[in-house]
């Protein structure tokens, strides 16, 4: 791909998202995006989760392994959005939902009503970096799918995950990440990233999340790099797995 084609793609992205960039410059985009994003995500996530269904089913099949001796399994999901992961949780699981965006509540309540095999404890409006309403060592499992790409600090979010997990508890994750720098996917990520972050509520295409996970003081980690079967090339590189406290 020649330089001028890359430049043309870059300029096209900027032109298509120019209204959002102008509103962002004026400080008006963030509150508007907070309201619009849940509606957009609720539609997009249906396709995403259908395409990733087999990966999720395999990943979450390990959840029962981390049920505490007193049972039932206690799960906290960060950035749960409209609750697309609930159908994978074992019967009787006690679930605490958190999300930084309060405008997901409408979709969340609908999903909770459809998943009556679970016991929902609370819906907290809180960023992943500050879960102060959740007690230390109080949950068996923390779940994050498509969330760490948009938090302000992955390091701080993982510190909170470790704080609230019981000893021997696990952090289950599935996140899109930065591609190998030698690939065209990486180039596309770099081109799209500024506009992507603006439109998709701070979602970062170029985040090397696996490095933050490897630095965090987990006792054991199962992490796999995959190329997800997604139509949008920049979001195809993923990591999937779980880390044990």
Looking at residue 15, what is its pLDDT? Answer: 53
Band of pLDDT at residue 48, cut at 50, 70 and 90? confident
Residue 3 pLDDT grade (very low, low, confident, very high; cuts 50, 70, 90): very low
Q: What is the CATH number of the domain that holds 113?
A: 3.40.50.150
Q: How far is CA 231 from CA 6, 44, 48, 237, in A?
A: 19, 12, 10, 12
Q: In which band, very low, low, confident or very high, does the pLDDT at 201 lie, cut at 50, 70 and 90?
A: confident
pLDDT at 43 over 80: no
DSSP 125-182: E--TT--TTSPTT-EEEEEEES-TTTSS-HHHHHHHHHHHEEEEEEEEEEEE-PPPTT
Task: Judge whether 101 and 31 are in contact, CB under 8 Å.
Answer: no
Q: Which domain holds residue 30?
A: 3-244
| Overall domain count for the chain | 1
∠162-57-109 over CA atoms, to 5°?
A: 70
Separation of alpha carbons 159 and 128, rounded Å: 10
The helix (H) or strand (E) run that includes residue 243 is strand 237-244
């Amino acid at each position: 791909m020649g330089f001028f084609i890359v430049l043309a793609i870059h300029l096209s992205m900027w032109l298509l998202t120019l209204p959002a960039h102008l509103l962002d410059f004026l400080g008006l985009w963030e509150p508007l995006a907070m309201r619009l994003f849940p509606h957009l995500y609720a539609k997009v996530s249906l396709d995403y989760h259908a395409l990733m269904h087999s990966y999720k089913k395999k990943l979450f099949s390990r959840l029962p392994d981390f049920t505490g001796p007193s049972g039932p399994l206690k799960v906290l999901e960060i950035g749960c959005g409209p609750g697309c992961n609930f159908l994978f949780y074992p019967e009787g699981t006690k679930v605490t939902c958190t999300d930084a965006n309060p405008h997901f509540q409408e979709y969340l309540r609908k999903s909770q009503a459809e998943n009556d095999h679970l016991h929902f404890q609370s819906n907290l409006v809180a960023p992943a970096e500050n879960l102060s309403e959740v007690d230390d060592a109080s949950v068996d499992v923390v779940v994050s799918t498509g969330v760490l790409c948009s938090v302000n600090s992955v390091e701080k979010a993982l510190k909170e995950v470790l704080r609230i997990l019981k000893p021997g508890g696990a952090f289950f994750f599935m996140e899109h990440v930065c591609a190998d720098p030698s690939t065209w996917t990486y180039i596309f990520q770099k081109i799209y990233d500024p506009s992507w972050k603006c439109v998709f509520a701070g979602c970062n295409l170029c985040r090397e999340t696996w490095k933050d996970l490897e630095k965090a003081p987990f006792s054991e980690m199962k992490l796999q790099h995959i190329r997800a079967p997604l139509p949008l090339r920049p979001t195809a590189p993923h990591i999937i797995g779980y880390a044990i406290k």
